Amino acid sequence: EAEVAQSPRYKITEKSQAVAFWCDPISGHATLYWYRQILGQGPELLVQFQDESVVDDSQLPKDRFSAERLKGVDSTLKIQPAELGDSAMYLCASSLDLWTRASGANVLTFGAGSRLTVL
Amino acid sequence: SQQGEEDPQALSIQEGENATMNCSYKTSINNLQWYRQNSGRGLVHLILIRSNEREKHSGRLRVTLDTSKKSSSLLITASRAADTASYFCATVIQGAQKLVFGQGTRLTINP
């Protein structure tokens, strides 16, 4: 069964350091998502890509977070500098490009996530 | 921004009992989805119900949608220990192309 790959699974860093997360979506999935999930809460969308283009980054703290999907396949999410409040699970997901269809019924496939702890 | 709110926040039942979770949302939607998340893992899609549907079934899962009340419920029948997880509703707001999750219900099935 196809999976969304994420790495690293766990990352511990000190505040002010740089952190990067990588995601490889399911082959053929045009849409890629990065969500942040604070412990005990629901996932919050940080950025959404359609192929290599950003379609929504309204909740991405752009002063310290950046995301790219250069070739429209895998993606990297970076935090620089990391702050204590960034401690969370960073989830990557992908879906077929169904947003432009009348159904708009996109089902997301998630990776296992990258757990970040900032000390 | 928060669209869906699950109720209860936590639910603990005995194995074999039925579990019901509710989700309320604020604005008109295209569809509503339910996802499950085991501790420390990613989310897994369970079921999708469109705005013009009232009820859907998938195995031991039954989902209802009441667009007039802006609410949905997820029923898990004959619960098993393996059903222990957090359950999230997620909505696609009309006119938007993104999925917004609620805060989730933590379900514990006691053997």
Q: Which residues of A touch B41 (CB under 8 A)?
A: 112-113
Tens of pLDDT along chain A (119 residues) come to 789 999 999 999 999 999 999 999 999 899 999 999 999 999 999 999 999 999 999 999 999 999 999 888 999 999 999 999 999 999 999 998 666 555 556 899 999 999 999 99
Confidence band of B30 (pLDDT split at 50, 70, 90): confident
Whether the pLDDT of residue B1 is over 60: the answer is: no
* Mean of pLDDT values over B74-100: 91
Confidence band of B27 (pLDDT split at 50, 70, 90): confident
Please spell the DSSP secondary structure of A37-72, one letter per residue.
E-TTS--EEEEEEETTEEEE-TTS-TTTEEEE-TTS
Interface touch B102/A4, C-beta < 8 Å: no
Interface touch A4/B42, C-beta < 8 Å: yes
* Mean of pLDDT values over B50-70: 96
- Return the pLDDT at A100: 59
Interface touch B42/A112, C-beta < 8 Å: yes
Q: If we measure between CA atoms, which residue out of A50, A54, A51 comes closest to residue A66?
A: A54
Question: In this structure, are residues B20 and B37 in contact, taking their beta carbons and an 8 Å threshold?
Answer: no
How is residue B102 written in tokens? 């609620």
Phi, psi of A31 (to 5 degrees): -105, 130
- Return the pLDDT at A101: 59
- Return the pLDDT at A22: 98
- Return the pLDDT at B2: 54
The DSSP symbol for A20 reads E
End-to-end CA distance of chain A: 36
Interface touch B42/A104, C-beta < 8 Å: no
Q: Measured between CA atoms, how close is A17 to chain B, in angstroms?
A: 24
HSE (side-chain half, CA atoms, 13 Å) at B23: 32
Q: Measured between CA atoms, how close is B97 to chain A, in angstroms?
A: 6
End-to-end CA distance of chain B: 37
Interface touch A115/B40, C-beta < 8 Å: yes
- Return the pLDDT at A70: 85
- Return the pLDDT at A104: 57
Q: Is A109 on the interface with B (CB under 8 A)?
A: yes
Question: At which residue do the structure tokens 């250069």 appear?
Answer: A70
